[in-house]
């Protein structure tokens, strides 16, 4: 559980980490050592009572929800998939922006009554098609989603779309827009009460840095 004397920030590995570190620096929080040159998962910072944790994006909500981290930074797609109301989501950092969309083969013109949809975003896909009253069979895959329609495993996919180049290279095209995705800040509810001043101060500094980035 959370240390009452520490403020722990959970960051997401990969692209989000690269884009968030400069923003944190603008907010006055800098890791005490080079994150990229260490195998450690938790780091001290230039602020004595602030630590930084580096984990998988899909794990960030769990660490925040259970109180192992006070603040988490991860993609909106992860938060939509988890669908929890056990933490606050006070800030959009407007980083690592992309779209969550359906995609299907370019030459696909007939839509079957019951779609087979491949995705790692099982809950998002279920909710999206359910809201439309469409019957679907969800096939959970963790990678290479573009392959599923090519080999006839699925009629379409639900995935993150950035440039769309990977879809195009595999004969697919984006179809239906589900949501815009960006990097969000989440806060443990108990932490917001017990460490309110520290957290609110950091949120304000991050918001100022986001505004400065335009």
Strands of the sheet containing 98-105, edge to edge, are 135-140, 114-119, 156-161, 98-105, 172-181
Write out residues in the chain with pLDDT < 50, as ranges: none
Query: Is residue 118, in this structure, part of any structural domain at all?
Result: yes
Predicted local confidence at residue 55, as pLDDT:
97
Buried b (16+ CB within 10 A) or exposed e, 190-210: ebbeebeebbeebbebbbebb
Query: Same domain, yes or no, for 52 and 105?
Result: no
Query: Same domain, yes or no, for 195 and 144?
Result: no
Query: Same domain, yes or no, for 187 and 134?
Result: no
Query: Same domain, yes or no, for 15 and 90?
Result: yes
Query: Same domain, yes or no, for 92 and 186?
Result: yes
Per the structure, the complete domain to which residue 12 belongs is given by 7-96+182-213
Query: Is residue 20, in this structure, part of any structural domain at all?
Result: yes
Predicted local confidence at residue 2, as pLDDT:
52
Predicted local confidence at residue 110, as pLDDT:
79
- Mean pLDDT of the chain, nearest integer: 94
Query: Same domain, yes or no, for 118 and 166?
Result: yes
Q: How far apart are CA 51 and CA 107, in angstroms?
A: 51
Query: Same domain, yes or no, for 52 and 146?
Result: no
Query: Same domain, yes or no, for 115 and 175?
Result: yes
Q: Domain count of the chain?
A: 2
């Amino acid at each position: 559980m959370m240390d009452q004397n520490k403020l722990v920030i959970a960051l997401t590995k990969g692209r989000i980490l690269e884009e968030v570190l400069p923003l944190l620096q603008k907010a006055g929080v800098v890791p005490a050592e080079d994150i990229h040159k260490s195998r450690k998962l938790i780091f001290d910072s230039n602020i004595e009572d602030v630590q930084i944790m580096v984990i998988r994006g899909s794990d960030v909500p769990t660490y925040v929800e259970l109180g192992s981290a006070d603040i988490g930074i991860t993609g909106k797609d992860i938060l939509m998939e988890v669908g929890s109301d056990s933490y606050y989501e006070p800030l959009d950092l407007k980083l690592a922006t992309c779209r969550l969309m359906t995609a299907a083969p370019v030459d696909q013109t007939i839509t079957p009554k019951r779609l087979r949809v491949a995705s790692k975003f099982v809950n998002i896909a279920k909710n999206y098609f359910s809201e439309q009253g469409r019957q679907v069979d969800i096939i959970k895959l963790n990678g290479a989603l573009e392959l599923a329609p090519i080999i006839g495993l699925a009629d379409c996919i639900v995935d993150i779309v950035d440039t769309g180049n990977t879809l195009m290279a595999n004969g697919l095209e984006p179809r239906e827009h589900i949501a815009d995705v960006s990097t969000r800040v989440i806060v443990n509810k108990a932490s917001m009460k017990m460490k309110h001043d520290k957290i609110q101060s950091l949120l304000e500094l991050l918001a100022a840095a986001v505004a400065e980035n335009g």
